[in-house]
């Protein structure tokens, strides 16, 4: 059976074939390119939102850090201009009645900044209560003094008290 189509019908079939080909091409193209770009844009937006959230959290943390620095700077500015760490620690040792069991030395390792004075205190035969009271008095002064390191904290060989080596540091402005 031979189909004879007139010219108008052939044009209609040809147009239908072109439209069908175009629709099929769009069905293959749309999900592959614009849809992929859309999905990638969504992922980018999610990533940028997470990055923004992280940046905001870091900003808050940095603000808190700066606030705490301002508090320390305010304490340093209140401190006497002629503050000497060695003299300060020596006075507390004397006030606490530990001078006969204490040895105090200025300590400055090589390449150490002069703006960060160190003082080493060796205590021998002190009770734990005396040590805690000493540290409490030191910190309660608000002179921005910190324990830089504790080299030793052990019972004395004779068993009467503790042996302790502390190094204190402060900041000069």
- Secondary structure element (H or E) that encloses residue 105, with its range: strand 102-107
In sequence order, the β-bridge partners of residue 105 are 120
For the entire predicted model, the pTM comes to 0.59
Convert the pLDDT of each residue in 50-100 to its tens digit: 999 999 999 999 999 888 888 777 777 777 777 888 888 999 999 999 889
pLDDT at 2: 63
Site of tokens 């999905």: 39
In degrees, to the nearest 5, what angle opens at C-alpha 105 toward C-alphas 102 and 107? 140
d(CA 30, CA 124): 83
Convert the pLDDT of each residue in 114-147 to its tens digit: 678 888 999 999 989 999 999 999 988 878 888 8
Residue 172: phi and psi, rounded to 5, are -100, 135
């Amino acid at each position: 059976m031979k189909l004879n189509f007139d010219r108008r019908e052939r044009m209609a079939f040809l147009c239908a074939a072109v439209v069908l080909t175009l629709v099929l091409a769009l069905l293959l193209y749309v999900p592959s390119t614009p849809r992929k770009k859309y999905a990638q844009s969504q992922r980018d937006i999610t990533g940028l939102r997470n990055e923004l959230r992280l940046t905001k959290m870091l900003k808050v943390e940095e603000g808190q850090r700066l606030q705490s620095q301002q508090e320390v700077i305010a304490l340093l500015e209140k401190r006497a201009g002629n503050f000497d760490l060695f003299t300060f620690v020596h006075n507390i040792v004397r006030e606490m009645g530990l001078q006969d069991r204490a040895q105090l030395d200025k300590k400055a390792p090589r390449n150490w900044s002069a703006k960060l004075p160190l003082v080493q205190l060796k205590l021998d035969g002190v009770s734990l209560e005396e040590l805690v009271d000493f540290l409490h008095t030191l910190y309660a002064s608000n002179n921005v003094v910190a324990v830089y390191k504790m080299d030793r904290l052990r019972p004395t060989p004779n068993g009467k008290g503790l042996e302790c080596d502390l190094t204190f540091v402060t900041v000069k402005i």
